[in-house]
Amino acid sequence: MSNGIIRFSGLRSTHPTKEIYKGCDVKKTVMAGLATGLIFLGVSTAANANMIVNGSFEEFNVATGGWAVYQTIPGWTTISGRGIEVQDNAAGAAFDGSQLVELDSYNNSAMQQLVTTTPGYSYLLSFAYSPRINQPAHTNWLEVLWNNVTIGSFTGVGAAQTQWSIKNYTVVGTGLDSLVFRAAGTNDSLGGYLDAVSMNPVPEPATMLLFGAGIAGLAGMARRKKG
């Protein structure tokens, strides 16, 4: 219900709709409001597109059952160690798609992606982690860093299959930000897995306040029309 009201409000600001209000053609108004709402939904969906390039590591393509180590892959660059290992069902299944990244490639390595943000805005950073199958916890450590500060560190005992868990962090943008993942366990070419990295804006409290004001304003308008 509240969504319909927001759409209604948006319609009024972008179209000369006084005629509609005067005529009190409720059906026409609701239909127009719904149409506008669909446009708004489209915009909203676009705004929620993942800000991370190649967050699922499906590029470059690695043959099924194989693995390869790269200095760079689309979106990501090696900043320490010997490179980024991309696997396609080589030792366990991916969380999303068919490929995953392991950062203890030939040795403990770190990779970085620079993300363009709005200064002061909050973002939800999310990704999937799994211990490497059949490996002990001491070798599976993975760390995540935001602007060179470690914000997460985790490991686990590898089972016969990958065991993915989703990690969520709220980060604040400064304009151009450094997102780094690095292997941090025993340096032995076997380490934790990473997949499905995504980042999206967190709705601002100010935006929610505006929505609330719009709803209150429309409620007042409806009362006036009745009277």
**Contact positions toward Ca ion, by CB under 5 A?**
56-57, 94, 96-97, 99, 104, 139, 185-186, 188, 190-191, 195
Give the residue with the Cβ less far from Ca ion, 6 or 144. 144
Q: Which amino acid is at 198?
A: S
Whole-number Cα distances in Å, 224 to 21, 144, 221: 12, 55, 5
Give the residue with the Cβ less far from Ca ion, 130 or 139. 139
The least distance separating Ca ion from the CB of residue 47, rounded to whole angstroms, comes to 23
The least distance separating Ca ion from the CB of residue 141, rounded to whole angstroms, comes to 7
The least distance separating Ca ion from the CB of residue 95, rounded to whole angstroms, comes to 6
Q: Nearest to residue 102, comparing CAs of 94, 124, 153?
A: 94
The least distance separating Ca ion from the CB of residue 41, rounded to whole angstroms, comes to 27
Coil, strand, or helix at residue 31? helix
Distance in angstroms (rounded) separating the CA atoms of residues 14 and 4: 16
Coil, strand, or helix at residue 27? helix
Q: How many CA atoms lie within 13 A of 125 on its CB side?
A: 22
Distance in angstroms (rounded) separating the CA atoms of residues 132 and 157: 8
The least distance separating Ca ion from the CB of residue 108, rounded to whole angstroms, comes to 7
The least distance separating Ca ion from the CB of residue 107, rounded to whole angstroms, comes to 9
The least distance separating Ca ion from the CB of residue 186, rounded to whole angstroms, comes to 5
6-10 contact pairs (CB < 8 A, 24+): 6/37, 6/40, 6/211, 6/214, 6/215, 7/33, 7/34, 7/36, 7/37, 7/40, 8/33, 8/36, 8/218, 9/214, 9/217, 9/218, 10/36, 10/40
Instruction: Enter the tokens of residue 66.
Output: 């194989």
Give the residue with the Cβ less far from Ca ion, 104 or 177. 104
Give the residue with the Cβ less far from Ca ion, 56 or 112. 56
Whole-number Cα distances in Å, 66 to 56, 62, 158, 175, 191: 17, 6, 20, 37, 16
Give the residue with the Cβ less far from Ca ion, 17 or 89. 89
Give the residue with the Cβ less far from Ca ion, 121 or 154. 154
Give the residue with the Cβ less far from Ca ion, 117 or 130. 130
